[in-house]
């Protein structure tokens, strides 16, 4: 029993370091890339326990291999998180969600679906959602900051002719 506690403690200590967090994030993006049949990548991840999550160079392609989301930096600040009370109350307070210099490219395809529908379908499928009875999670957003976002929307159901 003492050995198991020691191993768990060492693993938790290792996850305090950015290179280990980044390695784990890259494993997750490789898994998502395989399951989604497209490219999902991340350059680095840093989690300051219970206060901040920073993703650098987060990139997602759509199924047509075009950029869906690309952001050099995505920061999420968490306020007042406690392992005991926050999980028991099922509440997460995000004091800041900040997207810097990102690009989002949405398309309405000829079959009337969008280029991000595959993501919505994946994350809402019974394979990825475990329904647990009880109080649902509440996520409160205090501030959302979007700095220098490039947004493009193309509707392939409409023919446009530019002169």
Both tokens assigned to 66 = 């075009």
Q: What's the pLDDT at 127?
A: 63
Say which residue, 16 or 74, is predicted with more confidence.
74
Is the pLDDT assigned to residue 124 strictly greater than 90?
no
Instruction: Output DSSP code: residue 55.
Output: E
| pLDDT band at residue 162 using 50, 70 and 90 as cut-offs | low
Specify the pLDDT at position 13.
75
Position 128 scores a pLDDT of 55
User: Quick check: 161 pLDDT over 70?
Assistant: no
The pLDDT value given to residue 129: 53
Average pLDDT over residues 73-95: 86
In this model, does residue 78 exceed pLDDT 60? yes
Q: What is the mean pLDDT of residues 71-82?
A: 89
Spatial distance between the Cα atoms of 115 and 113, rounded to a whole number of angstroms: 7
What is the reported pTM? 0.73
Q: What is the DSSP letter of 114?
A: B
What pLDDT does 153 receive? 92
The confidence band for 109, taking pLDDT boundaries of 50, 70 and 90, is: confident
- Please state the rounded mean pLDDT for residues 67-92: 87
> 149 φ, ψ to 5°?
-90, 135
The helix, strand and coil proportions of the chain, stated in percent and rounded to the nearest 5, come to 30, 35, 35
């Amino acid at each position: 029993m003492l050995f198991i506690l020691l191993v768990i403690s060492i693993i938790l200590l290792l996850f305090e370091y950015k290179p280990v967090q980044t390695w784990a994030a890259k494993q997750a993006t490789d898994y998502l890339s395989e399951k989604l049949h497209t490219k999902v990548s991340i350059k680095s991840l840093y989690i300051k326990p219970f206060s901040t999550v920073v993703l650098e160079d987060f990139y997602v392609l759509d199924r047509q291999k075009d950029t869906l989301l690309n952001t050099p930096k995505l920061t999420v600040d968490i306020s007042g998180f406690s392992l005991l009370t926050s999980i028991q109350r099922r509440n997460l307070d995000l004091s800041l969600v900040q997207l810097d210099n990102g690009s989002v490219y949405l398309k309405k395809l000829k079959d009337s679906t969008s280029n991000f529908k595959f993501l919505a379908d994946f994350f809402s499928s019974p394979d990825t959602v475990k329904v647990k009875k009880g109080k649902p999670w509440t996520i409160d957003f205090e501030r959302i900051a979007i700095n220098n976002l490039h947004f493009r929307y193309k509707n392939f159901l409409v023919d446009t002719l530019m002169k």
